[in-house]
């Protein structure tokens, strides 16, 4: 399912992150094992997510690249725009994009709600804010066919009360929230 170069991209990314992180402290992942665990967490939803028809995606609050940058490695046919307003994290994302020569990645050093919306098929985000707030922040990007993939913690069930069309998948302490047909009115 993953492209054949995925492992080499993941290893290069891990090395870059660990080196950059020593000076700039952009991620809590301080060991190779911790970075690889975050990479695995980022791609885990590809087991249950329909990706063949995806063309454009955004990742909100990408941080050091989890999950948006890693998903871009895994889904080379999808064009990703990674939103990261913190300059030192955005600079790292640019370094990764340049080093790996990623043609399917754009980086926006901005908050998603401050950018002119465009059509997307997938919106991902990990540990940014509460679910309903996150939906409000990206509502102008959501179309009836857009899939939302949010990487959540243990309070996901409380966060989705009253929201229709939600599916939650669990792996260890991570909850993967998939939403479709989101009403943004």
- Evaluate whether residue 139 is within a structural domain: yes
At 31-64, the pLDDT tens digits run 999 999 999 999 999 999 999 999 999 999 999 9
Domains of the chain: total: 1
Examine residue 167 and state whether it is found in any structural domain, yes or no: yes
- The span from the CA of 123 to the CA of 97, in Å, is 19
Residue 99 covered by a domain: yes
CATH code, domain carrying 19? 3.40.50.150
pLDDT tens-digit series, residues 1-40: 799 999 999 999 999 999 999 999 999 999 999 999 999 9
137-179: pLDDT as tens digits: 999 999 999 999 999 999 999 999 988 899 999 999 999 999 9
Contact 99, 16 (CB under 8 A): yes
pLDDT of residue 87 exceeding 80, the answer is yes
**Is pLDDT of 127 > 90?**
no
Using alpha carbons, select from 179, 66, 185 the residue that is nearest to residue 128. Answer: 66
CA distances (Å), 114 to each of 65, 140, 172, in order? 20, 11, 35
Q: How many CB atoms lie within 10 A of CB 91?
A: 15
Output the pLDDT for position 31: 96
Tell me the residue range of the domain where 97 lies. 6-179
In a domain, 184, yes or no: no
- Distance, in Å, from the CA atom of 68 to the CA atom of 73, rounded to the nearest integer, reads 9
- What is residue 46's predicted lDDT score, i.e. its pLDDT? 97
pLDDT attached to residue 142:
95
Instruction: Look at residue 185 in the predicted model and tell me its pLDDT.
Output: 61
pLDDT of residue 44: 98
- Per-residue confidence (pLDDT) for residue 183, from 0 to 100: 74
Distant-in-sequence, close-in-space partners of 107: CB < 8 Å, separation ≥ 6: 62, 81, 82, 84, 90, 93, 94, 97
Residue 21 lies in a domain: yes
This prediction has a pTM of 0.95
Phi–psi pair at 107, nearest 5 degrees? -120, 130
> Residue 118: pLDDT band by 50, 70, 90 thresholds?
very high
Asked, for residue 71, whether it belongs to a domain, the answer is yes
Q: Residue 94 domain-assigned?
A: yes
The length of the chain, given as a count of residues: 185
Residue 70 lies in a domain: yes
pLDDT at 10: 97
Per residue in 69-81, pLDDT tens? 999 999 999 999 9
Residue 184: what pLDDT?
A: 66
Q: Which residues pair with 124 in a beta bridge?
A: 59, 149
Question: What's the pLDDT score for residue 22?
Answer: 93
């Amino acid at each position: 399912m993953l492209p054949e170069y995925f492992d080499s991209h993941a290893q290069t990314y891990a090395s870059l992150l660990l080196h950059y992180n020593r000076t700039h402290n952009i991620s809590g992942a301080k060991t190779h094992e911790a970075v690889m665990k975050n990479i695995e967490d980022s791609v885990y939803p590809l087991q249950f997510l329909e990706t063949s028809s995806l063309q454009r995606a955004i990742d909100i609050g990408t941080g050091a690249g989890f999950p948006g940058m890693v998903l871009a490695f895994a889904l080379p046919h999808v064009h990703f725009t990674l939103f990261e307003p913190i300059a030192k994290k955005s600079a790292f994302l640019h370094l990764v994009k340049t080093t790996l020569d990623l043609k399917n990645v754009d980086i926006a050093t901005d908050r998603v709600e401050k950018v002119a919306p465009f059509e997307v098929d997938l919106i991902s985000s990990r540990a940014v804010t509460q679910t309903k707030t996150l939906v409000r922040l990206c509502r102008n990007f959501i179309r009836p066919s857009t899939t939302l993939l949010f990487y959540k913690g243990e309070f996901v069930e409380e966060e989705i009360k009253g929201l229709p069309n939600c599916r939650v998948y669990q792996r260890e302490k991570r909850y993967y929230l998939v939403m479709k047909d989101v009403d943004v009115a």
